[in-house]
Structures are given as C-alpha cells and as structure tokens.
Structure 1
C-alpha cells in the first residue's frame, strides 16, 4: 500500500476512492447483506449525495457496486431505508418479482419546484437491489419542511392489523415523527416524540425496533435510537437511545432523563449508543435471519470528517454490531457486541497470550504482541494505580492509550499521541465513558485496525469507537499502570495482519 492508503482498513468497509457517510437501506435479502450509504461519487468530501452500495454474505468481506440511486439536477438523495415489499402493497412489483422499495429523503435543489424542502420519496428495484427506478409520483410525503429527513420504515404486525411504519425526524425541532401507510405511498401521521435527553445538535437518522429483555421473547421492549450532531458526550456527533413501548401509534419512553431541551450537565446520564468520537448515524439491518438485530454506524465525526488524512477514499464504516437488551437496576441497557461472524476472521499468526500478573508502575512493552490489525481481549483487577490499561499501535512512548481510572469510575481513550492528529484542532482528544466494576474486574475487547480502535467494555455495556492515524511502523502493544500497580488476569491478542 502507498503511504497515502496505509490507513485502508482490513476489518471495516471503506469505499475504493470516494466519500462515504451515513449507512442507508440496510437489509438482508436473497442471501446477502446490502449496505447502501451516503456517497459522493465524484469526490472525497461531502457533496453530490447519492446512495453508494456494497454487499456481503458474511459481514466481513464487502463488494462495492455501482452507485445505486444517484443525485440529479433537482435532488440530492439523503438518508433512508429499504423494505422488502413481499405482498406488493406498493404495486411496484410484477407477477414474478416482489419489489425492494427504498424510502429516501429528497433534498430538493434550486432547479426543483420544491427547492429548499426535504421530503420523502420512493425508488424500487426488481433485480434484488442493484438497479433502481425513482417513483414518478415523488415526493410521497411532504411537510413543507427544510429539515424533515432520514425515514426508517418497517412492517408493524399486531392483532389490530399490519401496516408500514415510518420513523423520521424534524431535525432542528429535536423531534421524531411516526407515520403509517398501507401502500408506502399515502402516509398518515401517527404521533411524535421529543425533544428529550440530548438536544445539543440536530436530531438525525432514527430507528425503532423491538428487543427481548434478557432474551425473554415474552418480554419485549422497544428501542428508539436517534443520532445528534453536535452534542455528543465527548464532542461532535453521537447517537443516543431510549427504551420503552410502541403500541403501533405512539412511542413512550421509560428512560427519559430530561424532557424538553437538555441540561448540559447531565450528558453522562443519557443512554449513548457509543461514547467514542466516531460512531454516528447508526441504524439496523432489516430482515436479518434468526431475529438478530445488527447495527452499523459511520465511523467519523462531523467536527473533522472532511479532513481525515485518508486517500483516495474518506471514511470507513464501523464493525457490524449485534445489539441486545438487558435489565439493570430497574431499567434497561443496550448491550453491543461485534457480530459473531468476526470470530471467524482468519488469524495471520498464532495468538499472543499472557497469564495473570502484576502490572508495575510505568509502561511495559509486550514482546511478540505487535500488530496493526488485531483483537485484544483483556481482563484487569484494579490495585493501587490511578489508571491502568493498554497502549495500542504504539511506538516508543507514543500510541493510543486505553485505560481505566477506577476511582473516577471511567474508561479513557487518549489519542493525543495516536499518530497524525494535526489535521484538525478537535481530533487530539481524551474521551471518557462511565464504567462500573463487575465481579471485581474490568473486561475489555478491543478491535484494532489500520485507522481505528473499537472498544467493547464489560461485555459490551460500554463502547467507544475512535479513528486513529498511526504510522505503519507503530504496531507495539504495551501494558501500563500510573500511580501504583494493577493486575492483568488474562490477555489474548488475535493477530489478523
């Protein structure tokens, strides 16, 4: 790889030579996962918004296809979703083919009679999602709003009947709006939700889905996710979620901390999809087998997204995560783990393992642990140290520091010396998330790639996704303790490259 392309990820999807942002139209269909995404087909910065397209059969290896739905003189193609219209409720299908229907936001330009408006439109595919035809009757849902966008559509089934539900946002009002339809063309307003909890920036890219609590299919709760930019817990873009009930008309949150506009001092009390700087616009796949709920996010932050030093492409996606819901202290917590498919990634060489031992004060290079693409599984017991943990993609004293501060009850990702940081003033950061001791220990699973770390702490109860841009020769892994000692109980590093 050229130095310019040294950051191309091995485990994450990135486009060949264009700009990528929000995931769109996620669906499992005819044996393949379809990942559409906001794409600038002509450049490596935001603009000319169209839907890019990639497919995978295993969530590991992705094939990039031609642009699926392209912008034109009248509209940009903003975010949205895809449904498999099995019963041809839309009438777009034929006798032999049920259609895939994309519901997307038309961001109308000056050449359009609707210029300045964002409204919802349809496109359909009869070849399994590779070629798309825009519906001549677009837009199908217009509120005459400049910020009405990001429709996520799903089929709602109940004793009272079944219909399509659309979850979208009035972005600048911090409001999620719910609509219903029988044919995907005529939409009726059901209800709205918000403002609530984090409102430090516009609301975008909502999703709504049921999950069993603690794996019990008779105890379902609904999870509403909504992303915001800026206003994240560590600055810039982030995603939050609410847990509650949806009766086919109204979503009722049981986890609202502050209704109305947020209290900036309560950010740490809100429920965040990810506490890192680089996990935005996350949405879930439709129609995944076995009822799994899989999500993927854009691995970047609007504070510096257009400036990250990758070429000839810009922005990766996160790893695909499987989400579940656990009861905790009378409430619920979304738990996220890397999709099980990633456990089958072929290792490049035998794993590095280390038994239990004390971590003395200072930084301790692990001989034989170096690597640029790896999964690190570690369990620590606190001791007298104020902070302890790992340094990854290191070189000498530099590297990305992932540490626990037990008395502060936080986990820290420090990327001030992670490699290239000077491309934007907001990038060199120390990001923190609350973490609780469990069974007297802290368990971390860390996925390290050419330009990122994704940290899953305490079994996925806390996650932090962070871009990093280290030198290709910065591959060291070290343990460290500051202000005392700590204990490493076990350490296993799987090397992928």
Structure 2
C-alpha cells in the first residue's frame, strides 16, 4: 500500500509540474512571440542588435561568409550560423565601417598563408578623417587589429567603404573606395594590402543627388560592372571596361538602377576564394533605408539582408542591363505547392493559400483589356501590399502606403515604380514576414521593400482594373526552414 501511495504521489507531482509548465508557457508565449514579431523566416537576421551593409562577402573552405561586422557562415546561402563577434583588438575609439574581406593565399601581407584579411573604414566621427584599416584572421573566425593601422589615410572625412580584390593579370590588389560628398570613386593598387598607390578616379556621373557609398566592381559576362550605393537607399550601376588602372563606362544617357524599391542598399558580391575561375556572380543587399532604419518597430533588433541574387548582363533594345534572379538554392525551402488553373480576373479575386506570410509566388498575367492588374499580398484588416502594373503609365509599381502601421516614420508610406512597357506581366515574388521582393520579366526589373503588417494580414488576392486580365500561370510555395 505504501508503495502504491508513493507512486500516486509521484504521479500527482508530475501532473502538477506538467500543468505548471503548460501555464508558464501560456503566459510567456505571447511575450516571446511579440519580441520576435517581424523577424524573417528565410532572410538572414542577427539574433539581436543592428545589421546594415553586408560586408566581406567571400566563399572560402566551402563556406559562404557574411560580415556586418558581426559574422555568419553558410554552406548553401540559405541556412546561416551566426558566429562570435569577430573584430578583436580595437581600442574602442572608432567604429568599424563597411569594407571587404580577402583571402591572402600568397601571404603578401605577411599575416600567414591564406590568412583572411578584413579591409574596412576606420571611422571616429565626422570631424576626423576616415581612413582604411586592416584586421587579419588565421582561424577564419577572429580578426586581429593591425598595429600599424591605418594603411590608407588621405586626410578626408568623407572617404569610405573599400572593396578589395586580387587582380590576377597584374598580380596585385585593387581597392575601390568612395568619396561620398564628391560623387567619386577612387581606384588604388597594392602589392601587400599595406601600401597603396592611387591609380585613377571615376565620376561624377549618373545619379549624383545624394552621397556615393559602398562601391563594388566585378567582371560579368564579358564586361565589368561598377555598382555604387546612392544614399539613403538605392544602388546604381555602370557597365564598362576595367584595365587594372581605370574604369571607363559605356555610354549611358541616364542612371541605371539595380532595384526600384525603397529598401535595397549597399549590395556587395561574393568573391570565390575556393574557385577563382568561377564566373558565377552572386550578391546580397541590405533591406533597409537610412531614412527610417533605426526607427522600424521590430523589437528583436534592427534590419535584415535581402535574399542572395545571381547576376547576369543581358542585351535589350535599350542596351545591356543587369538581370537578377533569386539563387536556386532557395528552392530547398519550398513546401506545399499550390497551382491554380488559368483564370480571368475582373475586379478583386481573393485566393486561399497558406495563412502565413512566408511564401513564394510565380504569376504570369496577360493584361488583355485591363488598364491595370496585379496582386495584393499581406491582405487583411482593410490593408494590403500591392504589386501592380499601370497600363497607361507603363509602370510596374509596389504600394505599401496602406499595409502597416507607419507611425514610426512619415517617410515610410510610399508607392515606388519602374518603367515597363508590356502586355504580358511576369512576376516572381518573395514574401517573408516584413519584406516583399519582386522580380519582374525574368529579373530585368526588381523592386524590394520592407513592411510591417499585423499577424492577421495573411491574405492574397488577384485584381484587374478597367477591364479583364487573364492569369496564365500561377504557382505558390510555402517557404520554411
């Protein structure tokens, strides 16, 4: 009998403990969920704190590295592991501004064979010159401050964001760095990453209304592409020729934009240290805008990066244009596909999809007699994020002005558009909690935006205005990690 009572008491205690845990979870779960609200599912975001420009994008020893100057690695550009804070040995009097990371396979700098070397802007404040500095790593994880920093100081307080790569033809390092207020890019060369020679300048040219920042230069499909961030939120690019000393742009009557949305900035390309002959060019940008980035309503931290995109140059009647495609590695996230048959649309047509805000859509629309057509995503409570085409204006547009709480910034409600003349609309859309990325016409036009909807805004609808449009292709995938 005693043994039976003991067993009963144990069961009673176990039952009480289980009930207590369930009650505790019930009480804590809303707070935990609120703290994680707006965190993306498949875009990289840090565990906490700030993330901005993607820096030091390099593939080495089979891993893709991403710095900001935090550090994360991935085997496939999709699943990321955040590592300890990498930057060691600074004296606390400066901020690590944007830059790049190289693998010094020839030990030109003397830090060791195949040392990883970070080249970045050492920034103190706006009244002190910005200079370029080094930190090095022999374990691919912790980077040690070079005791003879800075390695390039021209006495300017507007001189930043170095992108460095090995130029094999001349067997030396090339640095691309901006003078933001002057709307110029400078090219430097070095045999050892420590001593730099000025080669040439490029600019002003193209869009010059705002500061030039975060440059990149890479070979692509027989040309060289120079990309430049125009603050606070846009990336322009130039195609042309680079001979190891200077960049000469192709004739360009107007600025060319990599992304027409409000939130794609500071994009940089991965350098492949494992296969220097690889012609694949993949880049990633910051889904952010300096106008309101510090004020967005996420509580877990501020900011996240775009999905990685493969780049190509393709000819069009108006000239060569940069084309972006989501990396195919993202397909591993696809679950529960929904295929809809061909259908005519006149007015709004709500769809039943996943009831979540982490998904991918492929939609082709024949505009026929419609004066406008497209989709509403993040639909609910009388709000939505609109992806549409205006036939009269010949514009593809996104409109987030009635999608989320915008009290944190008067600049956030916005409609952005890109020029497009077509009657056959091809859309590839990625929705992920607090962002929408739209790739149109096989990636010729891209618009990216952040947005902050409520948890109940999970609807999707097709629409056509002023006539009838036909959806000729529709497939949706839920995306999960």
CA distance in 1, matches of 2:317, 2:156: 41
- Residue 7 of structure 1 is matched in structure 2 by 38
Report if aligned partners of 2:98, 2:120 keep a CA contact under 8 Å in 1.
yes
- Residue 178 of structure 1 is matched in structure 2 by 187
Tell me whether 1:241 sits opposite 2:237 in the alignment: yes
CA distance in 2, matches of 1:101, 1:4: 36
- CA gap of 1:392–1:330, structure 2 versus 1, over 3 A, is closer
Q: Mapping of 1:341-380 within 5 angstroms?
A: 341-347=329-335, 350-360=336-346, 362-368=347-353, 370-380=355-365
Tell me whether 1:279 sits opposite 2:269 in the alignment: no
**Which has the higher mean CA deviation after the structures are superposed, 484-493 or 326-335?**
326-335
Pick the aligned partner of 1:391 from 349, 372, 376.
Answer: 376
- Residue 46 of structure 1 is matched in structure 2 by none
- Residue 30 of structure 1 is matched in structure 2 by 61
- Residue 124 of structure 1 is matched in structure 2 by 136
**Which has the higher mean CA deviation after the structures are superposed, 200-209 or 369-378?**
369-378
CA distance in 1, matches of 2:351, 2:261: 26
- Residue 265 of structure 1 is matched in structure 2 by none
RMSD between aligned residues: 1.5
Q: Secondary structure at the match of 1:2?
A: helix
CA distance in 1, matches of 2:155, 2:252: 29
Q: Mapping of 1:71-470 within 5 angstroms?
A: 72-93=91-112, 97-108=113-124, 116-128=128-140, 130-158=141-169, 161-212=170-221, 220-230=222-232, 237-257=233-253, 269-287=254-272, 289=275, 290-329=278-317, 331-347=319-335, 350-360=336-346, 362-368=347-353, 370-395=355-380, 397-437=382-422, 440-470=423-453
CA distance in 2, matches of 1:137, 1:189: 20
Q: Would you tell me which structure has more helix in proportion to its own residues?
A: 2
Q: What 5-or-longer segments of structure 2 have no aligned partner?
A: 1-31
Q: Secondary structure at the match of 2:301?
A: coil
Q: Secondary structure at the match of 2:463?
A: strand
Report if aligned partners of 2:39, 2:300 keep a CA contact under 8 Å in 1.
no
Q: Secondary structure at the match of 2:442?
A: helix
| Pairs aligned (count) | 445
Q: Secondary structure at the match of 2:54?
A: strand
Report if aligned partners of 1:276, 1:464 keep a CA contact under 8 Å in 2.
yes
Displacement of 1:369: 5.1
Q: Mapping of 1:48-87 within 5 angstroms?
A: 51-69=69-87, 72-87=91-106
CA distance in 1, matches of 2:189, 2:60: 23
Larger Rg computed on CA atoms: 2
- CA gap of 1:330–1:399, structure 2 versus 1, over 3 A, is closer
CA distance in 2, matches of 1:255, 1:371: 46
Report if aligned partners of 1:74, 1:109 keep a CA contact under 8 Å in 2.
no
- CA gap of 1:396–1:311, structure 2 versus 1, over 3 A, is closer
Tell me whether 1:479 sits opposite 2:462 in the alignment: yes
Report if aligned partners of 1:363, 1:479 keep a CA contact under 8 Å in 2.
yes
Provide TM-score, normalisation by structure 2. 0.90
- CA gap of 1:368–1:141, structure 2 versus 1, over 3 A, is closer
Provide TM-score, normalisation by structure 1. 0.87
